[in-house]
Amino acid sequence: MKKVGGRLTLLLLVMLVSAVSFLPSYQPLYQALPGWAKAVLPNKGITLGLDLQGGIHMVMEVDEDRAVEIAVDRSVVSLQDMLVDKKIPVESVKRTDPTRITIQFQNADLKAQIQKLIDEFPTFAETESAGSANTIVWDLRESESKRIKDSAVNQALETIRNRIDQFGVAEPLVQRQGLKQIVVQLPGVKDPKRAKDLIKETALLEFKMLDEENQMKLDLPARIPKDKETEVLKQAEGKVPEGSQILFERAVEKDTGREYRIPYLVKKRVMLTGDVLSDARVSIGQFNDPYVSITFDAKGGREFERITGDNVKKRMAIVLDNTIYSAPVIQERITGGRAQITGTFSTQEANDLAIVLRAGALPAPLKIIQDLTVGPSLGRDSIEKGVTATLVAGAMVVVFMIVYYRLAGAIADFALILNLVCLMGALSALTATLTLPGIAGIVLTIGMGVDSNVLIFERIREELRLGKAVRPAVDGGYDKAFLTIVDSHVTTLITGVALFLFGTGPIKGFAVTLCLGIAINLFTALVGTRVIFDLMNQRSKVERLSI
């Protein structure tokens, strides 16, 4: 007779660990535990997915072409600075196509000097200049354009993930889909609009100088009502000097709380960008007005000091996503690498602004192509129906096994209950996310949980028909069914692993419960039920088996 002490101890230990692991998932019981027990146990259990607790699901597309244009625009600025440093006079340097830079100059003798500068920009190649001796055209290399596009998607993915982490969403899903799409799932979000605004905000911070001289000539109004920006732009069409643009500052009347806009003529040249920031945090001013205090890194601090020193008594606009937040007069050279972004925003808006600045700017705008909001009531309904389906399926299987296999069927039902206990414990220990397809996976494991026992019982019946005693018949049934059970479970496990590796969202939830259910079912079928049969044979010589 085989000794069952070790297997029985293992079985009881697995049940105990599973039950203890599940405690954090049942908060009423977990909260009632003493402090020392909470300190020992994990503080997190099964997390409900988006389809069960509600939240938002978005599919966004990165504007790759705009990312290329932004990269070329930065190269234009760098080239302008280099021409100034080398004292090479040119008429204009501008982007004339998404991937093209055109340099125009009067003196044809300068062409050779300018052509040598392309060595400093290896990502560009010179093209034919349409026969003009006073024009040079550079085109971005195709390989660099592809690299920028791919990098833009990856950078957007990382930036969104950083913003969501600081926003404080539990179990978010942020992953790339296809060539230029990003899938975002945020379960349990209480304020979907705020989360969406935080995610899709480009957060491109720029410091630009106001074109004060031409603004006087343009005769822009001192203030305009909200939503009247388009009219101002149409009236000024054709009058805006080349190299400048009209941007608007958002302002609010303190007495009425009514929003209005202040138009400014701003030079297009970017003096400094937000990629040199090292920190951004919310502070409170002397009138209890929140503002965002920003700190530059070493390089940005030196550049900001130089810019403010060269433009004392001039106005600098702090621009975020083409909206002016403030346009202060530079009173003196600013040292220490610190600045402030003031504006008429609430503490929450200031906090969100600090989050996007800390997490970094998106490399290109995002376009939302799918936007779904799942309400928590729908999730509760799904949970109730899922639990009902599990109970009904379990009850039908339990009754069938007892009616058809009698005592052996009751033993299989014990294995089924053990299977569910171990599965819920494993999901809780792994802090897995339970989704609606995951509940379907649990229901599926109920059927699989008795399938193995059916194979074993039929083999035992065959052995008994051959006239064998109960003990050798049980041993023979398990031995003959062993390879069949393992083969069927391994093939299903391979499918589950493939679903987990290549599936997304809900598919992964189904794959997790399927794979865990298969592994646990092997244990309960080959160890759990056999321990009970061995205990029955060990205590007394069983002459007849109810099967």
Residue 178 is inside which H or E element, if any? none
Tell whether 239 and 302 lie within a shared domain.
yes
Mapping DSSP to helix (H, G, I), strand (E, B) and coil, where does residue 209 land? strand
Tell whether 440 and 493 lie within a shared domain.
yes
Specify the CATH number for the domain of residue 260: 3.30.1360.200
Tell whether 455 and 506 lie within a shared domain.
yes
Q: Is residue 336 part of a domain?
A: yes
End of a domain among 98, 117, 140? 140
Characterize the bridge pairing of strands 323-326 and 244-252: parallel
Tell whether 331 and 388 lie within a shared domain.
no
Q: Is residue 361 part of a domain?
A: no
Q: Is residue 45 part of a domain?
A: no
Instruction: Report the domain count for the chain.
Output: 3
Tell whether 215 and 333 lie within a shared domain.
yes
Specify the CATH number for the domain of residue 113: 3.30.1360
Q: Is residue 166 part of a domain?
A: no
Tell whether 334 and 418 lie within a shared domain.
no
Q: Is residue 299 part of a domain?
A: yes
Tell whether 320 and 400 lie within a shared domain.
no
Query: Tens place of pLDDT for every residue, the chain, 547 residues?
Result: 456 778 888 888 888 888 888 888 777 777 777 777 777 776 777 777 777 777 888 898 988 888 898 888 888 888 888 888 888 888 888 888 889 898 888 887 888 888 888 888 888 888 865 556 788 889 999 999 999 898 888 888 888 887 787 676 666 788 888 888 998 888 877 777 878 877 877 777 888 999 988 888 888 888 899 888 888 898 888 888 888 999 998 888 877 778 889 999 999 888 888 777 888 888 887 778 888 888 888 888 888 898 899 899 999 998 887 888 888 888 888 888 888 877 767 787 788 778 777 767 677 788 888 887 776 655 667 777 877 877 887 788 888 888 888 888 888 888 888 888 888 888 888 877 777 788 888 888 877 777 888 888 888 888 888 888 888 888 888 888 888 888 888 888 898 888 888 876 667 778 888 888 888 888 888 888 888 888 877 766 666 777 7
Backbone φ/ψ region at 331: left (φ over 0), alpha (ψ -120 to 50), beta = alpha
Is the torsion defined by CA of 253, 257, 260, 261 positive or negative? positive
The parent domain of residue 102 ranges over: 71-140
The tokens describing 53, both together, are: 């607790």
CB 236 within 8 A of CB 218: yes
Q: Is residue 13 part of a domain?
A: yes
| Burial (Cβ within 10 Å: 0-12, 13-18, ≥19) of residue 482 | middle
Q: Is residue 406 part of a domain?
A: yes
Residue 134, Cα to own-chain centre: how many angstroms?
Answer: 50
What's the distance, Cα to Cα, between the start and end of the chain in Å?
A: 21
Tell whether 330 and 385 lie within a shared domain.
no
Specify the CATH number for the domain of residue 461: 1.20.1640.10
Tell whether 384 and 332 lie within a shared domain.
no
Tell whether 526 and 385 lie within a shared domain.
yes
Q: Is residue 360 part of a domain?
A: no
Tell whether 386 and 529 lie within a shared domain.
yes
Tell whether 227 and 338 lie within a shared domain.
yes
End of a domain among 292, 317, 342? 342
State pTM to two decimals: 0.60
